[in-house]
Structure 1
Amino acid sequence: MSTVSPQEARRGLLITASTFVLWGLVPVYWHLLKAVPSLQIIAHRIVWSTVLVVAWLLATSGLRWWRSIAAQPRALWMLAGSSVAIAFNWGLYIWSINAGHVIEASLGYFINPLLSVLLGVLVLKERLRRTQWVAVVCAAAGVLWLTIDAGAPPWIALGLAVSFGIYGLLRKVVAVDPVAGLGVESVYLFVPASLLAAWGEQGHGGAFLSGWNLCTDAMLIFGGVV
């Protein structure tokens, strides 16, 4: 049985805490872009994410990342499906933040681990210990209470949870490098996102480098990192 040193445990705790703090601040970032139509935000996020990720992969491994995945037709199909799932998830999340549904969006990512556990048990045939089942039931009870308290089905939360759950499942069953997989997903989405951004510039809410201020333009570009 492997053991974790105190130093590794502290490092893991720090990374986990930092991740959740940054994730909690993400809604603030997208809210600062509320003057930009949600479709344009998601289009720019995909475009700039593709540029950054592919540039990083080319700089660190040339075209090996692409060749390794292109040699696996099943992986290409799986990543095509996961790219659709994550694009839907990103779009719904950004729209929900800018439409004032922050709490329901947060509930979606609270539900997601439950769905991931369910998919793991049903699809991947994973087994849970008794204490893990107790934790799942307690979390499910919390979700049920929040749903009842809201007085209506949390459709946004369910959409986010299901899309991210499907994304996680597809990425789990395809054996590729995580960053290389993200690169392929980004390439799949790049053309549709570019066309959407170009459509926005033709009088449909887009004003990149021509109407929004410099700060907004910079935030859209940096959104590829966020």
Structure 2
Amino acid sequence: MGDLTPQENEKTGLIYGILAYTVWGILPLYWKLLNVIPAYEILAHRIFWSFIFIGTLLLYSGKWKMVVDVCKNKKNVLLIFLCAAIVSVNWGTYIWAVNSDQVVEASMGYYINPLVMFLFSVTILKEKLNFWQITAITLAVIGVMIITVQYGKVPWIALVLAASFATYGLLKKLINADAMGGLALETAFSAPLALFYILFKQFQGIGAVGTVSVSTLLILFGSGIATATPLLWFAQAAGKIKFSTLGFLQYIAPTITLFLGVVVFKESFTPTHLLSFGFIWLALLIYTLSNMGKLKKRDTPAEITDSY
């Protein structure tokens, strides 16, 4: 097959991105099935079985050379190591949020994420910041502050999820490596520590194996497939479409997650939540229209293109 044209390449990336974010949106349903297992143990299994799944794919396809090629570039290896650490924080926080009935706050984190990604694109990738984008970010900050003031606590779950995944997305954009090879190395960095934790829990007699049902174990072991598949799709998307487009696609996941939190899991959604989310949704609308060129760009003295 010949090389894809830029338009075909972008279309393919868009499809991968939509698939990835849709799966991430419905993942709370999956983790809820494992709520009898502690979050850290689920995380360890998630990492280990992701490594096994990716390794099997590479072995089956005969593409182990991809990993070797990735390792030849020291910068790639360092970036992938950082990806492994950051995505582990993201996974662990998300699992804990879902299984402690804080799906609504988790969805807030992923609504904020596109704006954090945009901030990174401004401060690190040196993209322009216009009037409407400044307005969008300001409204999102107000939305977070409403929750903080009303409930007397910072929505740390939302902020950790947004910051960690935006950082992960940025690093993936900087890595010059095949998606599968990069992800294989990513999980390989974390797998030994994950396996150590799994064995430690088993030797203590409180591990999942032997204490939960067979069906729950199968779901736990399947977490590698549930995790690695959308990550592979996301990695493909990150290499084919604009960074800002990734931020736009991110709206898919929190919308599904918020629906699950309120309608399926019956979590509280107060007028304060509605007001807070309202500011965030308005911010996202302005941000989206600005990116689409529907709002006239008004560059201000606050432009950040060359500030760093």
- Fold conserved between structures, TM > 0.5: yes
Separation in 1 of the partners of 2:33 and 2:52?
A: 23
Structure 1 counterpart of 2:266: none
**Ranges in structure 1 where 5+ consecutive residues have no aligned partner:** none
1:179-220 C-alpha deviation (Å, 9 max, x unpaired) = 211111010011000001001112263131x22111111001
Structure 2 counterpart of 1:221: 221
Structure 2 counterpart of 1:157: 158
Range that drifts further, 183-192 or 126-135: 126-135
| Alignment check: 8 A CA contact 2:105 2:158 kept | yes
| Corresponding residue SS for 1:36 | coil
Change (3 A) 1:19 1:47: closer
Tell me how many residue pairs correspond in the alignment. 220
Mapped pair 1:123 → 2:124:
yes
Mapped pair 1:174 → 2:175:
yes
Structure 1 counterpart of 2:32: 31
Separation in 2 of the partners of 1:52 and 1:71?
A: 23
Q: Which amino acid aligns with 1:115?
A: V
Change (3 A) 1:13 1:187: closer
| Alignment check: 8 A CA contact 1:37 1:205 kept | no
Give the 5 Å matches for 1:195-206: 195-203=196-204, 205-206=206-207
1:132-186 C-alpha deviation (Å, 9 max, x unpaired) = 5555555555444454454421111111111112211211112111221111101
Structure 1 counterpart of 2:270: none
1:81-109 C-alpha deviation (Å, 9 max, x unpaired) = 11000011101111111112211111111
Structure 2 counterpart of 1:109: 110
- Give the Å deviation of 1:110: 1.3
TM-score by length of 1: 0.85
Mapped pair 1:88 → 2:89:
yes
Separation in 2 of the partners of 1:105 and 1:43?
A: 20
Separation in 2 of the partners of 1:115 and 1:40?
A: 29
Separation in 1 of the partners of 2:131 and 2:53?
A: 43
Separation in 2 of the partners of 1:84 and 1:113?
A: 21
Structure 2 counterpart of 1:186: 187
Change (3 A) 1:150 1:25: farther
Change (3 A) 1:134 1:218: same
Structure 2 counterpart of 1:77: 78
- CA RMSD between the two structures: 2.8
Change (3 A) 1:14 1:223: closer
**Ranges in structure 2 where 5+ consecutive residues have no aligned partner:** 227-308
Change (3 A) 1:140 1:198: same
| Alignment check: 8 A CA contact 1:50 1:187 kept | yes
Separation in 2 of the partners of 1:61 and 1:136?
A: 46
Q: Which amino acid aligns with 1:219?
A: I
Separation in 2 of the partners of 1:104 and 1:130?
A: 28
Separation in 2 of the partners of 1:47 and 1:119?
A: 30
Change (3 A) 1:145 1:36: same
Change (3 A) 1:171 1:131: same
Change (3 A) 1:147 1:225: farther
Separation in 2 of the partners of 1:132 and 1:60?
A: 44
Separation in 2 of the partners of 1:15 and 1:121?
A: 22
Change (3 A) 1:83 1:137: same
Mapped pair 1:59 → 2:52:
no
Q: Which amino acid aligns with 1:67?
A: V
